[in-house]
Amino acid sequence: MFQTKIVRKILIAYVFVLLFQGISLSHEDILHYGDVKIIVPNPYTEGTNPAFPDQKGYVAGTNVYDDTGKYQRFDFYSSNYVIGAVVYFGYKEIDTSGIADTINIVLRDMSNNSLNGVYGPGEEILASSTVTLDQMDTTGAGNYILFDTPVQMGGDDFFADSFFIGIEWQLTDHLDTFALFSDSTGGGLGDGANRAWEKFNDESYNDFGCVVNPSYCWDYDIDLWIGAVHTDELFSKEPQVLYPGSIKLNSVYPNPFNPSTTISFEIDRSEDLEISIYDLMGKRVRDLSKANFNAGNHYIKWNGKSNDFRFLTSGTYIVEIRSEKFSLTKKIILLK
């Protein structure tokens, strides 16, 4: 429950910025690689290597062998705006100090310099968001994190626009660890794309697949279970003019939303209106109101449930406000 509140605060704050700037989202999706979501153990499992006596056996977090970041590469073949990330933790441990590590979820460009013919994360951070480890969900449900700014990627059918989403932390005098989900249990089980990388305290990068440094690597061809949240279009909202007998849809806020959103609209005279929610297949999933509304501003809340009071799945839905002469629709996004 605490995690849900944290993510919702980040989400609402970000959407507020978009609305304040006169920008809204057209369509949102999440890209990730991999087929089977599991925990990959660290080779330096606690108690098995005397050189690393405090290693907890997980792939990330403050530790004694000085890694400070884990990254997943993404390849976009169309123009998209990256607006956030979904990260999946299966375990976390905050040491006896009780001070949770600060974690930065970052969007980095791809380096212009190759390392043994492969390209790792670049030096420039294009966008980021900061959380603390104690806020993170560890059930595998995922943590939805929105970046401080949307970043446009410009791939096409022939060339990918590649970037990295990573989790970074500072080395401290206490040991906090967390486990990242991935799609492999060992070397040779990935798809050969070599998308997973890590960063060390000396600012150097190394790939998991042992191309950069064969003598010091994981030898895991894996994909970290990190999702890139993207939208195909950000567009400026043009002001609406309220014509006689028409409907003005002021806002649907928040959008995206979880667990509820409020539809704000205005009419200039008394009208009989139907307010409904449809899925993208055109099926009406919720009748919100069918009544006579007086002239003025009105607010209708939707809790993400269908007509039979079941919670609907994540996805894009359509709000329709219909009168005898006018019909107005807007896309909204339900996130879980």
The string of DSSP codes covering 49-61 is: -TT-TT--SSSEE
pLDDT score at 302? 92
pLDDT score at 246? 63
Same domain, 248 and 219: no
Handedness of CA 203, 205, 206, 207 (dihedral sign): positive
d(CA 164, CA 126): 10
Same domain, 255 and 137: no
Taking only the tens of pLDDT, the chain with its 336 residues reads 223 223 323 333 333 333 333 334 444 577 888 777 776 555 445 444 455 444 444 456 666 567 889 999 999 888 888 888 988 887 787 888 888 888 899 999 999 888 888 899 999 999 999 888 888 887 777 888 888 888 888 877 778 889 999 999 887 776 777 777 777 654 445 567 889 898 988 888 988 888 888 877 777 777 888 989 888 765 444 444 444 456 778 888 888 888 888 898 888 888 899 999 998 878 899 999 999 998 888 889 999 999 998 889 888 898 988 887 777 888 888 886
pTM over 0.75: no
Q: Which two tokens stand for residue 243?
A: 């014509």
Same domain, 77 and 183: yes
Domain end position, chosen among 169, 197, 231: 231
d(CA 8, CA 13): 8
- Tell me which residue range forms the domain holding 42: 2-231
Q: Give yes or no for a contact between 228 and 32, defined as CB atoms under 8 angstroms apart.
A: yes
Contacts of 9 (CB under 8 A, 6+ apart): none
pLDDT score at 22? 37
Same domain, 32 and 170: yes
Work out the burial of residue 32: count CB atoms within 10 Å of its CB; fewer than 13 is exposed, 13-18 middle, 19 or more buried.
buried
Domain tally for the chain? 2
Same domain, 200 and 319: no
The phi, psi pair for 281, rounded to 5°, reads -90, 0
The phi, psi pair for 239, rounded to 5°, reads -65, 140
Same domain, 64 and 128: yes
Domain end position, chosen among 186, 206, 231: 231
Domain end position, chosen among 231, 259, 277: 231
> Looking at residue 210, what DSSP letter applies?
S
Same domain, 130 and 24: yes
Q: Which two tokens stand for residue 77?
A: 């073949």
d(CA 45, CA 53): 9
Q: Could you read off the pLDDT of 67-104 as tens digits, one per residue?
A: 889 999 999 888 888 888 988 887 787 888 888 888 89
Same domain, 226 and 254: no
List the end-to-end C-alpha distance of the chain, in Å, as a whole number: 13
CA-based nearest residue to 212, from 117, 331, 128: 117
Same domain, 55 and 88: yes
* CATH code assigned at 267: 2.60.40.2550
Same domain, 189 and 295: no
Same domain, 222 and 261: no
Same domain, 160 and 90: yes
